[in-house]
Amino acid sequence: MPTPKTLQRQIKTAEELQSIVKTMKALAAISNRQYESAVLSLAEHSRVLGLGLQVLIIHHPEVLAAQRPSLPQRLGVVVFGTDQGLCGRFNQQLVEFVTDHLTRLSQANRTQGIAMPPPTVLAIGARMADELLAADQPVEQSLSVPGSIGGITSLVQRMVLQLETWRQSGQVDHIWVFHNRPAREATAVSTLLPLFPFSYLYLQKLQQRPWPSRCRPQVTMEPERLFSALFQQHFFVGLYRACAESLASENASRLAAMQVAEKNIEERLFDLKATFQQQRQDTITAELLDIVSGFEALAQDSETF
């Protein structure tokens, strides 16, 4: 059984850990709120982009006809991870999701007699790059995870330049984005965003959806130029949203981990303090018994004389 001094040291250490966990919990909660606000701020922008595409497709159906779906043959992949710890299986969960989708795509291409080369991968985060390499998935390039909301824009700009270089050189004909996003029933849910080209089903739904007002705008710009401008905005917003959602889910996972750690520390502190109090009580009781025994011995000696 540990001595009272040992218990005091353990209690002090647990209280220090509790203070650290509470601080990290507060930081994760604040960061999570910032990234969630960034995601919500993109909702109106995405809605306007959708309306612009809808008008274009309604007036120029040939734009939709040019976006017929096809299986990727030269796939570019973006995978958002984290370089920080204390967020569970954040990277591992996403790598398993990526591997599963790439395996199914390869099988679908083989069924149609298409020999698909390995995808060109852009990993966001050094730890994510290591996880992908450990899963036998080559990584073409790795970029650092932004440490704040202000760093997302510069990261997305670098990603756009890199992906555009791959696309123009013919290195990729499709671009998929894999990332974790927050959800109510789970702290991080892996998801896939087909970023390039436009999803044919998405454009088809836009064409069939009724216009929200009586007055429908007219298209005066050349369809190709307008489609290119809308696509560039869609491309940037899609990457920004994926990065913000990934960071939000990372901090949500860390917040959940800190809550579990805080609960465990509280239970450990309760047990340590209860043991320490019991030992103190036992020590006091033993000392009182010694005093009483000594007093009784002295009383018996005095009666003898």
Q: Using 50, 70 and 90 to split pLDDT, how confident is the model at 277?
A: confident
Q: Using 50, 70 and 90 to split pLDDT, how confident is the model at 143?
A: very high
Report d(CA 42, CA 85) in Å as an integer: 28
296 vs 108, higher pLDDT: 108
DSSP designation for 118: P
Place of tokens 């005093």: 291
Give whole-number Cα distances, 198 to 64, 69, 266, in Å: 10, 9, 51
State mean pLDDT over 237-260.
91
Average pLDDT, the chain: 87
Least confident of 162-166, 198-202, 294-298: 294-298
Report d(CA 110, CA 74) in Å as an integer: 14
pLDDT digit string (tens) for 2-53? 777 888 888 888 888 889 888 888 888 888 888 988 888 888 888 889 899 9
- DSSP letters along 215-260, please? PPPP--S-HHHHHHHHHHHHHHHHHHHHHHHHHHHHHHHHHHHHHH
Question: According to the model, what pLDDT value does residue 258 have?
Answer: 87
Question: According to the model, what pLDDT value does residue 303 have?
Answer: 60
- CATH fold for the domain made of 24-258: Pyruvate Kinase; Chain: A, domain 1 (3.40.1380)
Return all residues near 163 (Cβ < 8 A) that are at least 6 apart: 76, 78, 122, 172, 175, 196
Q: Is the pLDDT of residue 296 over 80?
A: no
Q: Is the pLDDT of residue 301 over 70?
A: no
Q: Is the peptide bond before 197 cis (omega within 30 degrees of 0)?
A: yes
- pLDDT above 90: percentage of residues in the chain: 34
Is the distance from CB of 132 to CB of 139 less than 8 angstroms? yes
Question: According to the model, what pLDDT value does residue 5 have?
Answer: 83
Q: Is the pLDDT of residue 65 over 80?
A: no
Q: Is the pLDDT of residue 207 over 90?
A: no
The full set of domain ranges for the chain reads 24-258
Q: Is the pLDDT of residue 305 over 60?
A: no
Question: According to the model, what pLDDT value does residue 163 have?
Answer: 93
Q: Is the pLDDT of residue 288 over 70?
A: yes
Q: Using 50, 70 and 90 to split pLDDT, how confident is the model at 1?
A: low
Q: Is the pLDDT of residue 252 over 60?
A: yes
Is the distance from CB of 245 to CB of 126 less than 8 angstroms? no
Half-sphere exposure of 271 (CA within 13 A, CB side): 9
Question: According to the model, what pLDDT value does residue 46 have?
Answer: 87
Q: How many H-runs (helices) and E-runs (strands) does the chain carry?
A: 7, 5
pLDDT digit string (tens) for 101-123? 999 988 888 887 777 888 999 99
